[in-house]
């Protein structure tokens, strides 16, 4: 799997590498509300599910959604970044290749 590549170029908007901690806190809060609701329910009562938006919002998490990064645009951005960083052609091509490999990796 070390050579696997991203089939769909969709990335999180923020710079956070993962939302694992945010999701863990969200599920903990959601389970707590569910547990409280079940505890306060009368014996013959019917439980209503806790809606996920009442507990948290995806905009509060580290990644604020997803963005499509077009492969043609990736190449253009890699070229502009490489051109800004160095004037030597071999270094510029190597930097472009590294950036494209990084963005296409999982």
Stated pTM of the model: 0.51
Q: What is the pLDDT of residue 5?
A: 73
Q: Determine if residue 50 is left, alpha or beta; phi over 0 gives left, psi from -120 to 50 gives alpha, anything else beta.
A: beta
Note the pLDDT of residue 99.
92
How much is the pLDDT for 16?
Answer: 75
**What CA–CA distance (Å, rounded) separates 98 from 88?**
15
Side-chain-side CA neighbours of 6 within 13 Å: the count stands at 15
Residue pair 65/91 in contact (Cβ under 8 Å)? The answer is no
β-bridge mates for residue 67, sequence order? 11
> What is the predicted pLDDT for the residue at 21?
87
Cα–Cα distance for residue pair 41/19, rounded to 1 Å: 33
Q: Which of 38, 30, 33, 82 is nearest to 57 (CA)?
A: 30
- Residue 2 has a pLDDT of 61
Q: What is the pLDDT of residue 82?
A: 95
**Angle at the Cα of 72 (from 94 to 69), degrees rounded to 5?**
100
Contacts of 75 (CB under 8 A, 6+ apart): 96, 100
Over its length of 106 residues, how does the chain's per-residue pLDDT go in tens digits?
566 777 788 877 777 777 888 889 989 999 999 999 888 888 888 888 888 888 888 777 877 777 888 888 989 999 999 999 999 999 999 999 999 888 887 6
């Amino acid at each position: 799997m070390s050579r696997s590549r991203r089939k769909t170029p969709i990335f999180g908007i923020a710079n956070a590498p993962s939302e694992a901690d945010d999701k863990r806190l969200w599920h903990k809060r959601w389970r707590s509300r569910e547990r409280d609701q079940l505890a306060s329910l009368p014996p013959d009562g019917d439980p209503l599910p806790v809606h996920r938006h009442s507990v948290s919002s995806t905009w509060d998490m580290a990644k604020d959604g997803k963005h499509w990064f077009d492969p043609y645009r990736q190449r253009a951005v890699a070229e502009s970044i490489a051109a800004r960083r160095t004037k030597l052609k071999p270094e510029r091509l190597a930097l472009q290749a590294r950036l494209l490999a990084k963005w296409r990796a999982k």
